[in-house]
Amino acid sequence: MSEPLPEQRVRPKATGSLSRRMILIAAAWIVVLLAGGGFALDRVLASAVTRNFDDQLEYVMTALIVSAEIDSGGEVMFTREAADQRFLEPNSGLYWQVGAQGREAFPSRSLWDRRLAYGTPHSDRGVHSYDSAQFGTEKLRIVERDVKLPGSPVRWRFQVAQSREGLDSQITVLRRTLVRSFALLALGLIAMAALQTFYGLWPLRKVRAEIARMRAGQSARVSDAMPLEVQPMVEELNALIEHNERQAEEARRHAGNLAHALKTPLTVIMNAATAQADDLADTVIREARTMRRQVDHHLARARAVGRRGSAHSRAEVWPSVESVERAVARLYRHVRIDVAGPKDLSVHVERQDLDEMLGNLIENAAKYGGGSVFVTVVAEAGFVELLVEDDGTGIPEEDRIRIFDRGVRLDTGKPGTGLGLAIVRDVAEIYEGTVSLEESEDLGGLMVRLRLPAAG
């Protein structure tokens, strides 16, 4: 099956614009806050305007009460007329009336043939304000108070009423001003949120442009200075690019090494076949084994590289040690293998790779030792160390570096490929671990120290 073209590759589904999402959230929050604040402010200002309107009516009513007296017939009379000329004009919109239960009401001339409703009696002498629709289309605001005048056995109700037209027009102008002001404020705040979003997300656009430049081969890294919030992402991106480049370089190097390693055996086989050598079969078998060792080595590295990743790789050390110990004990029944150390340690290594490294080390100790192998597990500052000791003759210090090279064997009298320690070293380095050779103080032979990153 052919590889899909770049334009045919499945792209991750987009979940919408981040800028639009941030602007919509900010706009919704601004509208909610301004609507709530505008409603509260409208209530406060409308109440203040209405209270001021009532205070003016109450002032007129107080003036009427002060100038009111009881005449000889027991009716209310005023020592002076109300100062406002509108009380003398019929249906002017400003009225007063004095009345009592069972008495004929005494109205202002502006009421003409109409009368204010008396309503229900009050149990107090306080001032009462309310709206009334008793005159039909003319809405009234009424202020009233019950007063007992000197020389009168009854309580008189003083009422002052005024059309709400002026009050309602003031409230309408006030609300129109509030709506326009808050709408302008909302638009300004939303525009500021949009500008802030555009400016705040600008570094992400720069990162996108830098990635496009890298794809075009114009740069190798994101090198521009970024804000503190974006810089960690840029650093991780650069680290990922470096990691991929390192893996690609490793793949190229291993492909070249494998090609070079297979070239010589293939040349030997072709020369023997061309010359129709008598030992052609032996030559093919010998060189095929050599090629198989090389292929096994590079496959082991390829598997480790493919599974590498400290965030996902994890293996418990003790079960792996026990598994390898049982397998080696069955192959070398004369060898005694002792294991010690804590049983709850884990490393950032795939279990198969850990088994392969331990298998090579413990099998080498059993094969080249004198019959005793001691495996110790130690926790050490973010790492787990596995010490594999044997009681053999050991390895001279001058050969401890060379022994890690592929195919190098110091003891050619025993079967082997010479790739064991090389595989251990390569796989350990892939997981950012190390392996070193030392002298065993307890058994007198070789001690291999395998150091791997610990998993919490």
Residues 376, 390: Cα–Cα separation, whole Å: 12
Taking the model in full, what pTM does it have? 0.52
Q: Helix (H, G, I), strand (E, B), or coil: what is residue 30?
A: helix
Q: What kind and span of H or E run contains 379?
A: strand 372-380
Q: Which two tokens stand for residue 320?
A: 């792996």
Q: Which two tokens stand for residue 179?
A: 């709506």
Question: Residue 300: what pLDDT?
Answer: 64
CATH number given to 311-453? 3.30.565.10
Q: Which two tokens stand for residue 196?
A: 């802030």
- Please choose, from the candidates 66, 94, 99, the residue with its C-alpha nearest in 3D space to the C-alpha of residue 80: 66
Question: Residue 237: what pLDDT?
Answer: 85
Q: Which amino acid is at 184?
A: L
Question: Residue 43: what pLDDT?
Answer: 94
- Please choose, from the candidates 126, 430, 209, the residue with its C-alpha nearest in 3D space to the C-alpha of residue 306: 430
pLDDT in tens, 412-428: 444 443 456 777 888 88
Question: Residue 211: what pLDDT?
Answer: 82
Question: Residue 416: what pLDDT?
Answer: 42
Question: Residue 415: what pLDDT?
Answer: 42
Alpha helices in 308-438, H assignment, sequence order = 317-331, 351-368, 420-430
Q: Bin 12: left if φ > 0, else alpha if -120 < ψ < 50, else beta.
A: beta
Residues 450, 404: Cα–Cα separation, whole Å: 13
Residues 309, 327: Cα–Cα separation, whole Å: 28
Question: DSSP of 58-90, one letter per residue?
Answer: HHHHHHHHHHEEE-TTS-EEESS--S-GGGGST
Give φ, ψ of 448 to 5 degrees: -105, 125
- Please choose, from the candidates 64, 50, 67, the residue with its C-alpha nearest in 3D space to the C-alpha of residue 142: 50
Q: What kind and span of H or E run contains 376?
A: strand 372-380
Q: Which two tokens stand for residue 242?
A: 């470096």
Question: Residue 72: what pLDDT?
Answer: 78
Let me know if 300 is exposed, middle or buried by CB neighbors in 10 A (0-12, 13-18, 19+).
Answer: buried
Q: Which two tokens stand for residue 228?
A: 């503190």
- Please choose, from the candidates 26, 2, 162, the residue with its C-alpha nearest in 3D space to the C-alpha of residue 82: 162
Strand partners, 447: 389, 438
Question: Residue 305: what pLDDT?
Answer: 60
Strand partners, 141: 131, 162
Which distant-in-sequence residues (6+ apart) come within 8 Å of 151 by Cβ?
A: 69, 70
Q: Residue 316 in contact with residue 345, Cβ under 8 Å?
A: yes
Question: Residue 89: what pLDDT?
Answer: 92
CA dihedral 159, 160, 163, 164 (to 10 degrees): -90
pLDDT in tens, 54-73: 999 999 999 999 998 888 77
Q: What is the mean pLDDT of each run of 10 residues along the chain (456 residues)?
A: 50 74 92 94 94 94 90 83 87 92 87 88 85 92 91 88 94 94 94 89 83 80 80 84 79 70 78 81 80 71 57 83 91 90 91 87 88 92 91 78 54 45 82 88 88 87
Which distant-in-sequence residues (6+ apart) come within 8 Å of 170 by Cβ?
A: 49
- Domain-wise residue ranges, the chain: 16-200, 231-306, 311-453
Q: Residue 366 in contact with residue 419, Cβ under 8 Å?
A: no
- CA dist 419 → 118, 268, 290, 294, 301 (Å): 115, 21, 11, 8, 12
pLDDT > 90: percent of the chain:
36
